[in-house]
Structures are given as C-alpha cells and as structure tokens.
Structure 1
Amino acid sequence: MTTARHTVTVPHGYRVGAWEVHGPLASGAFTTVYGAHRGRGLPRTAALKFWPTDARTPHRPDRLRDLVEREIALLGRLRSPRLIRMYDTLVVDDPRHPELDGATVLVLERADSCLATAPASADPGPVLLQICEGLAQLHAAGWVHGDLKPANVLLMPDGSVRLADFNTAAELEGPHAYAPPFTSRDYTPPEQLWPEMDERGARVRPSVDVWAFGVLAHTILTGAFPFPGSTTGARCDAAARYAHTTQPLRLTAALPSPWREIVRDCLARTPADRPDTRTLLHRVQHATHHRTAPRPAR
C-alpha cells in the first residue's frame, strides 16, 4: 500500500455506522473511496465514498454539496444493471475527529478494480458492450454521465462492468442538462472544452457521453488516444483543430473493423452528427460478434 496523500484521510479501523474502514481504494479531486467490512448483514463488504466536510472546504461548500446531491439523486432513483449500486448514505457524527465530523459517506457496491488499472482484456468487445449498455440505461432514464473515463468504469468480481462516479451527472431538461465543468479533458468533446457557463453550469447533451465512449473505445482497442499529442493539452488542441477545420479524422491503423466506423461516428465534429445511444448500442452489439484482438502494450 502506498503512503500517498488522500483527499479525505480516514484511519484504518475507523467505524462509520456498522462499517469498519479498511485501506483506501481510490482518491480523486474531491473524494476518497475506502474498502469496508461489517460483521453482520448483507452485503458484508462495500466501498465507502467519503465526501469532505464543509469545514474543510470553506471556499466551495455549495459547489461540493451540489456534487454530492447529484450523485445521491441519481443512485437513489436508478437501479440499472450497469450502474454501481448505492446501499446507503451516512453522515459522520464525531466531534472527536473534526476533520471527519459532518462528512457525507456513500455506501457503494464493492468492485474488484477499474478499467484504468486493469490489464488489457483478450477480448475487449464485451467490456465495451457493457459500458454502452450503461450509457443507454442512463440516457433512457433522462441523465447524462458527463465524465465517462476508464477510472469511472468498474470491474466487478463476477467479471461484469458498472459505471460509477455520478457527481457530475446531470438530469435532462428537454434536450439539454446543466452540469458542473469538472470533466476529464481527454474524454471531453471540443464543444465542451471551453463551454459557456451560467449559474446552473454548462449546457450538455447525451452526445458528450457518446464522444467519450468513442475515445474510450479507441484507447481500449489500440492502447492510444485518437488525437495526437504527448500531453492532455496537446491532444485537446488537436481535437479542437479537428472540430474547427475540414481535416479528416486520422484513426490508428490498429483499430479493428467494424469498430473503426463506430469510433469515427462517435467522434463526429458536431453533436447532432453523433449517434444516439440506442443506435450506438445496436452497432456495438453487432461489433462484439467479431472477436477483437487485445490492444498492444504501451
């Protein structure tokens, strides 16, 4: 186990409700996820996602509260096979630990790993199919994920796939939703890299998830991003140039057919030209019948 600093530090053996905290599983800009165990009841194991207290973030309490409420709202309403399940929500009541007192804790289904750290699959098609199923379930329920990336795709003990991390998810209001601008730039479409903002956030459509799926599929199948550059900034600049010019999209030759056509359509310049997830799902289902080769080592 590393000694890296985590966003929310929780001591080993700390108890929250019926749960005993074990080691950290992952840490992001706002939260840290810990493994946990309880002696009785089902499930016996879970992942506890700790959101920091307002006292630790005095300059952004409203923003953090909005992110927490987004995730709780989505996971509380949706029970879909391809979305991570939330068992409970807790609030830490512990004045002896002021750094944790008042923290919000999401009790989530425990995964084995995430796509960002898992070894390459011999046949990545079924993984991509399950990711697409999750997006289709989200969009059918009227939500946009908004931050699809390998770290937010969880691999379960039975080999199935779940989408996770819905703190930037947004509920559709007609064709649009309003989302906070906290996204992973390598998976963000050009029109959202520098979005127009108002007090509700940036306007997004389900097409942002379709673009992200195209980038994700390309990286899983080839081991490389679809746009050139050794840094995120360089790749974003390349994506922006592609979106604002007539230069063709140059996908790597290692991308197998029929995935080449799927990725190309997901990465269409304008949102209206990208397929909706229902159409995309049918095409991905067809593509999985053609066994794809494992991606080469980086």
Structure 2
Amino acid sequence: MAKTVETIGKYQVLQRLAQGGMGAVYTARHPTLDRTVIIKKLTLRGSADMRERFRREAQIMMDLRNDAIVDVYDHFREGSSYYIVLEYVEGVSLEELIRQHRYLSEDAALLILREVCRALAYAHERGVVHRDIKPANILISSRGEVKLVDFGIATIHGGEEESALTREGMTLGTPSYMAPEQFQNTRSVDHRADIYSVGVVLYEMVTGKRPYPGTFSPEVISLIQKGRYPRPRKLNPQVSLFTARMIGKMLKPLPARRFADLNQVIRRINRRLGLRPHGRTDSLVEACLEGEVLRVRPRRRGRVIAAAGLVAVGLLALVVAGGLHRGLHREFFQADAWGALDVTARVRRTGLEAEDIFLRGTLFKDDGDGIPALEEGALRFSAQAVEETPQYFLFRAERRHLPPGSYRAKIEAGTALWWHSFEVPPLREGPRHLAADFLDLPELPLEVTFDVRDRESGRRLTDEAEIFLFLENRRLPWSEEAAARLRSGRVYRFQFRLPGYREQLFSLAIGPEQARLHLQVHLEPLKESP
C-alpha cells in the first residue's frame, strides 16, 4: 500500500486531489497564513524541459500580482521533487460550469470574460503570453471571483530562455482553443494568440460548443486557418449582435485583424454593461450565475395590461420623436422641399482599430461667394463592422436632410483631405450619395524620442536603460535602423528595462497624421525584500 503523505515541507497535507506519472496535486494547510492552499508536485523523473517549465511557471506567476490571477506563495525542492504552492480557490472551473448549464447567459459570459481579459491585459503589459487559455484554466469562486490559472506553457515574449524550451516549429497548447499561427510555430506567437483563445472561450460560453473540433487533423487546421466555423447566432439565436461581432473580431485568422489589445475588449464590455472601468464584478457574477438577473417579479394581470398600454404609448412617442430627429417626416410629407444626403468613407486598414481613426466631415453651402459652413454642418461618422473588408474600414454618416441646391463636402482622414462639390435633388428624385475613399493614405516617417527617469528621484536614465521595439512579432533592440522603419498610422509596442527597476511596456496607436512621438517613462525601483 502506498504511504500516505502527511506533510510536504512546512505544509500539512489535507487531501490528494490528483495523481499522475509526472506528479500530483494536494490541498494543504499553510502554517503561518492559516489558510488552505494548493500544492503542485513535479517529480524529477520528468524531462529537463518539464522541470524548467515548472520552475518558470512559478517564477512568472510570482511576478504577476493581480486579483484575477491565482497567487503563488512558494516554490521549493524537497528530495527528488519540485513543488509550487498556490492560492486555493473554493469553487468550480469554467469548464465545469459550462458542462452543468450547457451554456451561460450573455451577461454572465461577458462579466466572466471581462475578468479574464483584465488578467491577461495585466500579463500582456508585462510581456507574458499565456498560450493555453481555455475554460479549464479559468476558476470561479463561490463568491463570484474569476481567477486565471496554469501558466505552465506561458512565455515572456522575446525572452531568451524561451528559445531553449520552445524550439522553432514546436506546437504547444490545446488545439480547440489555439490561434492559427500557434499551429505553425508556438515560439513566435504574441499576445494576439491569447486574444484569439479568449474569443473561443466566449463562443463556448454563449453557445455551449466550440467553433472547431478538438482534433489535430489537416482538415480542422484548414478550417481554423480560413476562419470557417458555425456563427454563434445560428447555434443560439439569443446571442446579441454585439457579442457575435466581438467573437468574430477575436477569431480573425490574421492576427493583425483582431483587437490590438484586450483593453479594447474591456472598454466595450464596460460600455455594454454600464460598468465602471475599475469596478469589481464579483457580486454581479455571483448573482448572474444564480439567475437573479433573469428573475421577473410576478404582477397582477390588470397592472400588466395597464403597464403594457403605457409602454405602447411610450414607444409610439419614441418612434415619433426618433422620426422627427432623423427627418423622416420630411421624407413622407415634404419630399419636394427637402433633399437627403448619405455619406460613406472607406479608410485603408493600417495597424489601427476603427475607433482610433481620425475622421471628420463638414458641409458647406456653395453660394458661389463665401462658401459658408452650414449650421450644424458636422458629419458624424460611425464604423460599419458588418461591411468592413480586410483592406479597409467603412464609415457611414447619419443621413442629412437639406434644401435642394448646391453644396460642398470636406472630409478629413488623418493627413488626407477630400473635397467634393455636389447637388442635392428633391427627395422625390431619391437621396444623394457621396463616397469618399482614403485607400492610399500617405504614411509619414515617425520620429521618436525618449525620456526615461527614476520614478522616485527623477534622475535621468535614458542612456542606461535598455529599449526594445516589437516589430512584426520580433523584439528588436532600439537602434537607428529600427527607428528608420517606423511610420505613422500603426500600433507599436516599446519595452524599457534596467537592472534594479520594474520593466515597463507600452502599446501605442499612432494616428496617420502624427509624425512625432515623445515617450516619457518613469521606471519604478524594485524594493529589497526585508
């Protein structure tokens, strides 16, 4: 009979949760914190690569201090085994939760996703790419806390140690959740591979299924590379267009077409759910999973009918008010006295997201003299995600109602300017359409200067600090050659390192019209352990 383990180091073992050929997992009691912890054990009978990955998992997680990432308390060797001591989360994994409920409500899915994105955005800012995001690695506590775990195959992007552990062409990860580029070469992927995996997790939360089978066959890999999967609204018609579009953006086969970073996803979810940027969502997650947000208080039939009548009157008032606001009364009743103008703009894709593109339009009355701008002549554009292509974004302005006559339009996109003279006919002849194209936006050379200082003393550190530029999935030391490759209208990432200081990582969207960047960085000194 195998000997029962009573203690591991200074920890009193409570229960063995799992046992395998390479090690085991236990719950134990921390002697000074007086709390339950998880102990992961790796025996030295494993390969050297496994031992090094185990050590690096502990190192990476001990450097990550975030409330949405499981804490690591200790790492040590005893006898012929290595151990990691982690925070114990009383609850279930997202994988178990989906299995129990088949799929989650959209609100619950977005709340959970927000916390996962917060954890990953924090890790990405420190150069850490997880590479194995899946429901089994997301824990949800009984209090509604969401925690990311298992950085066993994570990498510090551009780190020198990674080249020894992940060789060129090696594939690591869970196939169902892997980005297309991860199948080709796990070593070269960056944070956008995690963004893809997050999209798969959201898809599974709201449909109960994964977009692709979990096999490694050439047929499945081909589907993943082409982005061919059942659309989530076909599997679950209750999925909103908002969530479906966000999934589609994250699951783009080309990394450059996904979100540039997960902070963009967090901002969208905050706006959708009315959340504060740094607000806690534990109680909301807990309530949502318990179904509280779905409960409707029963009301007596008379009150329901009366309320329905009030709602109908309210909706009618909204329809009328909305129609007046959009000028629809003119289209129905004043078709000879008014004309309609529709304006679209196509803007070439660079590295920016649609919301980061500067686009402004103004209408003028062509009176043959002073060409005055119209009162309230500004054109308000919004991106049309369903009509965009790999080559360009499409923006559409709200329809404008104008008296028939001669006009001019001025539209600016970055450094490019578009003028057009046109006639607006009466509405009975149909609306006037204008289409502005900015498909050949000029790229300006980008001049970059740095000012690196000690956060506490203000001492200048620019000449001492190591500065790196991430370009085409490669980390390059800052040099004149690297600087000469920078152009406006792109997204660039810079890393600043200096022994004795906490490293800093910046991801910056540069507008097409911006030709100079001055980056001031304050490095925080590392505190010595007491």
TM-score band, normalised by shorter chain: 0.7 to 0.9
Deviation sequence 1:54-108 (CA, Å, 0-9, x none): xx22xx22x1122112212211212111111011112123xxxxxxxx2111110
Match of 2:175 in 1: 185
Match of 1:268 in 2: 252
Deviation sequence 1:272-298 (CA, Å, 0-9, x none): 11102121221233344599998xxxx
Q: 2:96 aligns with which of 117, 122, 138?
A: 117
Partners of 2:134 and 2:7 in 1: how far apart?
Answer: 31
Match of 1:223 in 2: 208
Secondary structure of residue in 1 paired with 2:14: strand
Shift in CA distance, 214/28, structure 1 to aligned 2, threshold 3 Å: farther
Give the partner amino acid of 1:240: S
Give the partner amino acid of 1:202: R
Does the CA contact (< 8 Å) of 2:172 and 2:182 recur in 1? Answer: no
How much identity, in percent, do the aligned residues show?
24
Q: 2:129 aligns with which of 139, 144, 150?
A: 144
Does the CA contact (< 8 Å) of 1:125 and 1:287 recur in 2? Answer: no
Partners of 1:26 and 1:279 in 2: how far apart?
Answer: 38
Q: 2:63 aligns with which of 70, 77, 88?
A: 77
Match of 2:304 in 1: none
> Which range moves more in the overlay, 253-262 or 127-136?
253-262
Does the CA contact (< 8 Å) of 1:115 and 1:155 recur in 2? Answer: yes
Is 1:49 the counterpart of 2:40? The answer is yes
Deviation sequence 1:190-246 (CA, Å, 0-9, x none): 221132xxxxx721110110010000000011101123x4x5346x734533524xx
Give the partner amino acid of 2:255: P
Shift of 1:45: 0.6
Match of 1:103 in 2: 81
Shift of 1:11: 5.5
Give the partner amino acid of 2:26: Y
Does the CA contact (< 8 Å) of 1:12 and 1:23 recur in 2? Answer: no
Question: What's the TM-score once normalised by structure 2's chain length?
Answer: 0.45
1:1-298 alignment, distance < 5 Å: 12-26=4-18, 30-38=22-30, 40-53=31-44, 56-57=45-46, 60-61=47-48, 63-93=49-79, 102-112=80-90, 113-118=92-97, 119-120=100-101, 121-122=104-105, 123-173=108-158, 180=166, 181-195=171-185, 202-227=187-212, 229=213, 231-233=214-216, 237-238=219-220, 240-244=222-226, 249-253=229-233, 254=236, 255-275=239-259, 276-289=261-274
Secondary structure of residue in 2 paired with 1:240: helix
Deviation sequence 1:242-290 (CA, Å, 0-9, x none): 524xx76541321333110111000001011110212122123334459
Partners of 2:134 and 2:23 in 1: how far apart?
Answer: 17
Give the partner amino acid of 1:17: G
Shift of 1:139: 0.7
Shift in CA distance, 27/152, structure 1 to aligned 2, threshold 3 Å: farther
Report how many residues are paired: 259
Match of 1:5 in 2: none
Secondary structure of residue in 2 paired with 1:71: helix
RMSD over equivalenced CA pairs, Å: 2.9
Secondary structure of residue in 2 paired with 1:124: helix
Shift in CA distance, 31/137, structure 1 to aligned 2, threshold 3 Å: farther
Give the partner amino acid of 1:283: R
Shift in CA distance, 158/140, structure 1 to aligned 2, threshold 3 Å: same
Partners of 1:282 and 1:30 in 2: how far apart?
Answer: 41
Shift in CA distance, 110/242, structure 1 to aligned 2, threshold 3 Å: closer
Does the CA contact (< 8 Å) of 1:132 and 1:284 recur in 2? Answer: no
Which ranges of structure 1 fall in alignment gaps of 5 or more residues? Answer: 1-9, 94-101, 196-200
Shift of 1:27: 6.2
Shift of 1:48: 0.4
Give the partner amino acid of 2:28: A
Shift in CA distance, 202/271, structure 1 to aligned 2, threshold 3 Å: same
Deviation sequence 1:154-177 (CA, Å, 0-9, x none): 223432011111121111229xx7
Does the CA contact (< 8 Å) of 2:195 and 2:262 recur in 1? Answer: yes
Match of 1:198 in 2: none
Higher RCO (C-alpha 8 Å, min separation 6):
1
Question: What's the TM-score once normalised by structure 1's chain length?
Answer: 0.77
Does the CA contact (< 8 Å) of 1:147 and 1:183 recur in 2? Answer: yes
Shift in CA distance, 83/129, structure 1 to aligned 2, threshold 3 Å: same
Shift in CA distance, 144/216, structure 1 to aligned 2, threshold 3 Å: same
Shift in CA distance, 12/218, structure 1 to aligned 2, threshold 3 Å: farther
Partners of 1:277 and 1:172 in 2: how far apart?
Answer: 16
> Which one has the largest radius of gyration?
2
Does the CA contact (< 8 Å) of 1:110 and 1:156 recur in 2? Answer: no
Secondary structure of residue in 1 paired with 2:188: strand
Shift in CA distance, 21/205, structure 1 to aligned 2, threshold 3 Å: same
